[in-house]
Structure 1
Amino acid sequence: MSFTIDFLDDGRVLEWEATSDGAIVTERDVYTPRFYVAPRASDVDVDLEALRAVYDRHPDVVTTEMVTQRPGFRREEKPVLAVDVEHIDRVTSLAQQARQLSAYPVGDLACFNVDFSREFRYCLETGVDPTPASELSTLRLSVPVTETSNDVYGELSVAGDTVTGSPTDILTAVQAALEAHKPDVLVCSTSEIIPTLYEMATTAGIDGFTLSRWPDVGYQQLASQSTYSSYGRVGHSPARYNVPGRAIIDESNTFFYGETNLDGVLDLVSRSKKPVQELAWASIGNVLTAIQICEAHDRDVLVPWNSWRHEFYKPMGTLHDADRGGFIFAPEVGVHENVHELDFSSLYPNIICTRNVSPDVIRCDCHSDRDDVPGLGYSICDDRGYLVDVLQPIIDARDEIKAAIRREQQRTNPDEERLTELEGRSGALKWILVACFGYQGFSNAKFGRIECHEAINAFAREILLTAKQRLEAGGWRVVHGIVDSIWVTPDPEVESDDREDLETLATEITERIEIRLEHEAHYDWVAFVPQRESDAGALTKYFGKVAGEDEFKIRGIEARQRSTPRFIKDVQRDCLERFDATRSPDAVLDRLQDAIKRLHSGTVPVEELVERNRVSKPLEGYTQNTQNVAALKRARDQELAVHPGQDIEYVIVDDEKQSRERVALAHEEVESYDASYYETQLVRAIESLLSPLGWDRTDIQQKLSGIREPELTDFQ
């Protein structure tokens, strides 16, 4: 039950276990990580003994041996070379030597179990469970953006209290908090807090300052900062640090902690064998891969360093049929009354489990004459695929957690702390289930296969069409459908007495498809928004009023977009409430008019006009003078480091300018803002609300020009 693992330079390993009053450490003197080398293909002859002789002479190799393992799910057990390494940091470089020898006289080789993160590898190989046995204590350290580029902090938030003053004052406050909270987890707004505090102590001549629980090591740098691109989106990975005896969660570099909470992180720790610190910085795919690796390890299957799975041969017609996504019914633009939303519960993960779609059984040789996947002609073996064993426990666990949430919410006095825990766990599992489908088509997935991706889509298309046909036969009209969700309204051409009960229909479809079709929501009305430059419906832009609730469901429009300033979000929501109450565009425009007047009168608080946008490249890489460029120039003038992949926040001061004076950074003192710019953004937001009624921006502006009283600022 060690919640964090530390690796010392001399090869020793420290296992830390959380207790109610601190942590206890177990010191391991010997740990030799292992990787494997095998022929790349089953029909290739290689001289592993020649390679073994090379490794036996290497000073960083402790020992080698020939063992029997499965180099893949579709391969039988065979002799492979196991290499035990003196230090965990030498695994990759030693494996690279096998690559260099992957030619005459050794042969075509492949390496396995190479690129594991350190703590995960240790837990996997030694059987250590990284799930904490006791509740973890935390301490949060945070610096304002204006301090992030400084070598010496003048302000630091410690456990929610702002501390200002000299380095001695700040370091004393941190040390006192460490003694008071005895934190197992340090939650930092940026990981750079760690080296900066140590540098401050050194510069100020303060002896004895440490964040560490181990006397000989203050902190370690695990990785340098980097910028990366994924699916066309630029991201930034900050430097990573380690403090012995404490797990680090960097709020600027964590997905699961940011999207859920510590309870969600810990749930995945127990499933993936990735300790808290590694789980916090890991991506969804990284955690999903870890869970898959655990399953492979249990089945004595080695994990390839790089994926080299070829795509099975397909005729041109099959390629055409397979290269399709989920089924989509174009939404009917407009406002629809009495709408019900039906969703298939975890459709893609359940397709995998109910149809046994897994890389190790898709298009198997033993059933090549079967046509198991609709429209594609792929066979699926009767043997249970490993991916089913990976996902079924997660599906079942999330269903149980969601049921527990409903029970807790129905109590007279719900336990809010318990709800927070359950919702965090449910959210973490949801993200794993969301990613499991797309990861099958990811070229770098350890065990993915494109045929699984194609098969899942084929099943999904058939399922949605089946549901549509049965609902329409039961007297319901489909107004929108996308992948796993269907929106229906009573068919006006069917008498109410002839219309089948929706819950009964959903139960029938569930039994037929073997995946639960849930009644997600009932809406008094739903509006589907057209595309900006077309009359066709936008697939993921809609809003509606939940029946019997003082609640709206909003998707895709400005109020849901992360870059939209709070003022515009609030006005759009206010106008939405007005639309619900009156169904009158004029009433909505009255609210818009009031908001515009507030803008031009200068009474809107500047902090409500902050835009947040992601930086996609270094300042020098931009060729146009965009708002982001102006903001980056101001950040550079203030020596603030903003890397590609990070967000930058600013207020538009004068959008007509092309210089850095176009914007002001969010932390600056802003004396004025560009009311005309924000008016345009407001009109755009209200266009989203009124476009289902046939209104566009021109209609709105013409209507406003007839009712608006000119301001003096309009003539300046």
Structure 2
Amino acid sequence: MWYHLLVEDAQVQLFGKMEGRRITERRPYRPWFYAVPLPGEAERIAWVLEQHPLVAAARLEERKPDLLDPRVAPVVRIETAGVQAFPQAARDARGLEGVRELAETRLPHDFKVAAQLGLQFFQGDEPLSCTLLGPEGPEDPEAEVAVRWSPGGSHRGPAAASPQLPGPLPHQLLLDLQQDLAHDIYPLDYALDSRARILLAAQERLLRLQELSRETGVPPERLPFLTPGALNTFLHIRAAWQQGFLIPDRKRILEEPKSLALLERADKGGLIFYPQPGLYRGVAKCDFSSMYPSLIVRANISPETLGCGCSPGTTVPQTGWEFCSHAGVIPQGVRQVLERRLALKAALRREQDPARRRELDIRQRAFKTILVCAFGYLGYSNFIFSRVECKEAVMLLGRDVLARTKALAEARGLEVLYGITDSVFVQASPQEAEAFCRDATRELGYELVVDAHFPAIVFPRDPAGAGIANMYFGLTSEGEIEARGIALRHSDAPLLTRRFQREGIPLLLANGARPLAENRQQLDSLLEEHQERLRRGLVALEDLVISQRIRRPLQAYTGRAPHVQAFRRAPDPARISRFVFCQNGPLPASQARLQDADIPHYQALLERAHGQLVNALSANVSEQHNRRCPPSFAGP
């Protein structure tokens, strides 16, 4: 089982583990790139480059140089003497007469060599041991994974610079918990306050590396430093290689001109059914499993399959666009990770053991953002494979699926209270919801599952009294709180307001047999209790701390945003501003004192958090729902 590689000048060193023993291999590597010639120039270019002192070999190949054209053409593959010779050889080739463009000069060598050698990382069940990097080096020199962590760092963000600790030994895979770009997507639910917890975090991050490296081909040592978008790019590069395409250095796919009428029809975004504000009982949340990735695969949506006319395929509503049935690059890349994620989610639903469930959840979540990016990057101008018509097609097909889902629910006598992009909230018993999802899956061809059932759920209203997209809170049948858009879900809200809502939602919703007015009184009493504790100074300073990320260079901030003011006073290498609103303005948490806190400001935050919970529960709104909802599900 290979777990690590090092690229040297003209060779690579591979590290693996087999039957408990570490194994090492060295293999030759000649870095390569391609020259795409003008017509009739291929042989001459190959001959000229063959004479170059930094070029080890130059030969003709038949490849697909245009991502929108499946036809092969002669190109020149140039192999250099080593990594050090590569940049100059590429510069000289780019200036050669008869060269239209170069391809694959900007891809990292470790990714290229892994593809060239057909390496499959983490194939097998060999366990890898982790060790901490200390001032003297790795604590255990025999361990396969070296974990870097600064005691003063934050697991919520990458450090601006890694601490000056010795690096890992050559055979060790480095896992830097502070520079792992998964920190936002997969935040830890515990503090890294002990050696055991640091190693636990490393083992969990390692699960993510194993899944992503296996399915994308990206070497493990590169993965922690890749954004989801970059990882998505590598996934599709590998798929393009498998189909014989070259990866050009510069993007050549441009958006097609559209009439205003077509633009209005095509560029609509996801479909939303806005909720009527209020409290509802007996509501099922039904989700499509990875709807957009599934649409990409099923409709074969890819830049080169749009309008090619080689075979009948999928027609996009309202546009007349057609995607052929010849396997596309984007669907090929998406299918592999989608099938793996769906298999892991199915195993998670069946698993009962808590430890195994956590492992499966970490593994399946590894693919979540790459699948989101697979859709979003279709319209991103800097993505080498992007074509905005592909993104618009996915959204139009998704709108069609959601509209048909609503119609199916209503045909069964179920009311759709809210719908957004890939999920619908229907008023139904658990049994009715399960039956509806089975029928919808069979009818539509996309898996619809009951994600949660809510004995009680609230959809808040905006200042004008209308429903709000992506804002709700409810109690599931398991007694868990699920919420979107309120303080409880905001990472930049202080613990004070998040705790209030966490305690208040069960008081408001848990007892459906009790009149709503009594539940509301309990919530009001809880607000008074929190306000009183705040006035008397019976809260911890940490309860008042607000954390916000510094996402731009400091000089780019021209206003007086509180988090920027505090950060200027006490910069943090993790680029996270932790501050407290004080009477004389925001102060870094490390400099603030409880007695200096701006109590009226935090009282206002509590009142706002309270308002988010009750603003949809006025008498008029409740009466409307009592008339409109079936008696068995009406609000109390």
TM-score greater than 0.5 by the shorter chain = yes
Q: Find the counterpart in structure 2 of residue 334 from structure 1.
A: 278
**Does residue 1:674 correspond to 2:598, yes or no?**
yes
Task: Provide the rounded CA distance (Å) in 2 between the counterparts of 1:22 and 1:196.
Answer: 31
AA partner of residue 471 (structure 2)? K
| 1:535 Cα deviation from its structure 2 partner | 2.5
Q: Find the counterpart in structure 1 of residue 90 from structure 2.
A: 95
**Does residue 1:61 correspond to 2:23, yes or no?**
no
Q: Find the counterpart in structure 2 of residue 614 from structure 1.
A: 549
Q: Find the counterpart in structure 2 of residue 77 from structure 1.
A: 72
**SS across alignment from 2:367:** helix
Kept in 1: contact 2:275–2:417 (CA 8 A):
yes
AA partner of residue 143 (structure 2)? K
Task: Provide the rounded CA distance (Å) in 1 between the counterparts of 2:260 and 2:555.
Answer: 45
Q: Find the counterpart in structure 1 of residue 587 from structure 2.
A: 663
AA partner of residue 136 (structure 1)? L
Task: Provide the rounded CA distance (Å) in 1 between the counterparts of 2:283 and 2:2.
Answer: 51
Report the CA distance shift for 1:267/1:20 in structure 2 as closer, same or farther (over 3 A).
same
Q: 1:47 aligns with which of 41, 66, 79?
A: 41
Kept in 2: contact 1:131–1:275 (CA 8 A):
no
| 1:72 Cα deviation from its structure 2 partner | 3.4
Task: Provide the rounded CA distance (Å) in 1 between the counterparts of 2:562 and 2:161.
Answer: 29
Q: Find the counterpart in structure 2 of residue 600 from structure 1.
A: 535
Kept in 1: contact 2:11–2:26 (CA 8 A):
yes
| 1:626 Cα deviation from its structure 2 partner | 2.8
Q: Find the counterpart in structure 2 of residue 202 from structure 1.
A: none
User: Which 5+ residue runs of structure 2 have no aligned equivalent?
Assistant: 151-157, 187-203, 620-636
Q: Find the counterpart in structure 2 of residue 448 from structure 1.
A: 386
AA partner of residue 598 (structure 1)? R
Q: For each residue in 1:19-71, what CA deviation from the matched residue of structure 2 results, as whole angstroms up to 9, or x when unmatched?
A: 5767433233x3111111114xxxx6363455446544544322211211111
Q: 1:197 aligns with which of 161, 165, 169?
A: 165
Q: Find the counterpart in structure 1 of residue 12 from structure 2.
A: 13
Q: Find the counterpart in structure 1 of residue 487 from structure 2.
A: 558
Q: Find the counterpart in structure 2 of residue 123 from structure 1.
A: 114
Task: Provide the rounded CA distance (Å) in 1 between the counterparts of 2:373 and 2:591.
Answer: 36
Report the CA distance shift for 1:98/1:75 in structure 2 as closer, same or farther (over 3 A).
farther
Kept in 1: contact 2:497–2:609 (CA 8 A):
yes
Task: Provide the rounded CA distance (Å) in 2 between the counterparts of 1:397 and 1:283.
Answer: 20
Task: Provide the rounded CA distance (Å) in 2 between the counterparts of 1:131 and 1:178.
Answer: 21
Task: Provide the rounded CA distance (Å) in 2 between the counterparts of 1:194 and 1:519.
Answer: 44
AA partner of residue 139 (structure 1)? T
Equivalent residues in 2 for 1:415-454 (5 A)? 416-454=354-392
AA partner of residue 439 (structure 2)? E
Task: Provide the rounded CA distance (Å) in 2 between the counterparts of 1:484 and 1:194.
Answer: 40
Q: Find the counterpart in structure 2 of residue 137 from structure 1.
A: 129
| 1:123 Cα deviation from its structure 2 partner | 0.4
Task: Provide the rounded CA distance (Å) in 2 between the counterparts of 1:457 and 1:388.
Answer: 16
Q: 2:255 aligns with which of 291, 311, 317?
A: 311
Report the CA distance shift for 1:140/1:690 in structure 2 as closer, same or farther (over 3 A).
farther
Task: Provide the rounded CA distance (Å) in 1 between the counterparts of 2:421 and 2:496.
Answer: 34
AA partner of residue 310 (structure 1)? L
AA partner of residue 566 (structure 2)? A
**Does residue 1:34 correspond to 2:32, yes or no?**
yes
AA partner of residue 147 (structure 2)? L
Report the CA distance shift for 1:90/1:418 in structure 2 as closer, same or farther (over 3 A).
farther
**SS across alignment from 1:405:** helix
Q: For each residue in 1:524-548, what CA deviation from the matched residue of structure 2 results, as whole angstroms up to 9, or x when unmatched?
A: 12111223x433322111101113x
Task: Provide the rounded CA distance (Å) in 1 between the counterparts of 2:390 and 2:436.
Answer: 30
Q: Find the counterpart in structure 1 of residue 464 from structure 2.
A: 534
Q: Find the counterpart in structure 2 of residue 649 from structure 1.
A: 578
Task: Provide the rounded CA distance (Å) in 2 between the counterparts of 1:298 and 1:617.
Answer: 38
Equivalent residues in 2 for 1:409-420 (5 A)? 409=352, 414=353, 416-420=354-358
AA partner of residue 504 (structure 1)? A
Q: 2:105 aligns with which of 85, 104, 114?
A: 114
Kept in 2: contact 1:17–1:132 (CA 8 A):
no
Q: For each residue in 1:598-626, what CA deviation from the matched residue of structure 2 results, as whole angstroms up to 9, or x when unmatched?
A: 11111111122221101133334333333
Q: Find the counterpart in structure 1 of residue 395 from structure 2.
A: 457
Q: 2:205 aligns with which of 261, 272, 284?
A: 261
AA partner of residue 45 (structure 1)? P
Q: For each residue in 1:345-378, what CA deviation from the matched residue of structure 2 results, as whole angstroms up to 9, or x when unmatched?
A: 211111122222222212113369x881111101
**Does residue 1:480 correspond to 2:418, yes or no?**
yes
Q: Find the counterpart in structure 2 of residue 86 from structure 1.
A: 81
**SS across alignment from 2:415:** strand
Q: 1:576 aligns with which of 505, 508, 518?
A: 505
Q: 2:456 aligns with which of 525, 529, 542?
A: 525
Q: Find the counterpart in structure 1 of residue 236 from structure 2.
A: 292
Residues matched between the structures, number: 586
Of 423-432 and 556-565, more deviation after overlay is shown by 423-432
Report the CA distance shift for 1:508/1:523 in structure 2 as closer, same or farther (over 3 A).
same
AA partner of residue 249 (structure 1)? L
| 1:188 Cα deviation from its structure 2 partner | 3.1
Task: Provide the rounded CA distance (Å) in 2 between the counterparts of 1:671 and 1:182.
Answer: 49
Of 307-316 and 601-610, more deviation after overlay is shown by 307-316
Kept in 2: contact 1:351–1:456 (CA 8 A):
yes
**SS across alignment from 1:487:** strand
Report the CA distance shift for 1:195/1:691 in structure 2 as closer, same or farther (over 3 A).
closer
Report the CA distance shift for 1:356/1:617 in structure 2 as closer, same or farther (over 3 A).
closer
Report the CA distance shift for 1:572/1:34 in structure 2 as closer, same or farther (over 3 A).
same
Task: Provide the rounded CA distance (Å) in 2 between the counterparts of 1:120 and 1:515.
Answer: 34
**SS across alignment from 1:276:** coil
Kept in 2: contact 1:36–1:81 (CA 8 A):
yes
Report the CA distance shift for 1:534/1:377 in structure 2 as closer, same or farther (over 3 A).
same
Q: Find the counterpart in structure 2 of residue 228 from structure 1.
A: none
Kept in 1: contact 2:62–2:72 (CA 8 A):
yes
Q: Find the counterpart in structure 2 of residue 240 from structure 1.
A: none
Task: Provide the rounded CA distance (Å) in 2 between the counterparts of 1:633 and 1:430.
Answer: 35
Report the CA distance shift for 1:92/1:554 in structure 2 as closer, same or farther (over 3 A).
farther
Task: Provide the rounded CA distance (Å) in 2 between the counterparts of 1:197 and 1:255.
Answer: 20
| 1:194 Cα deviation from its structure 2 partner | 6.2
**Does residue 1:376 correspond to 2:319, yes or no?**
yes
**SS across alignment from 1:538:** coil
Q: Find the counterpart in structure 2 of residue 246 from structure 1.
A: 172
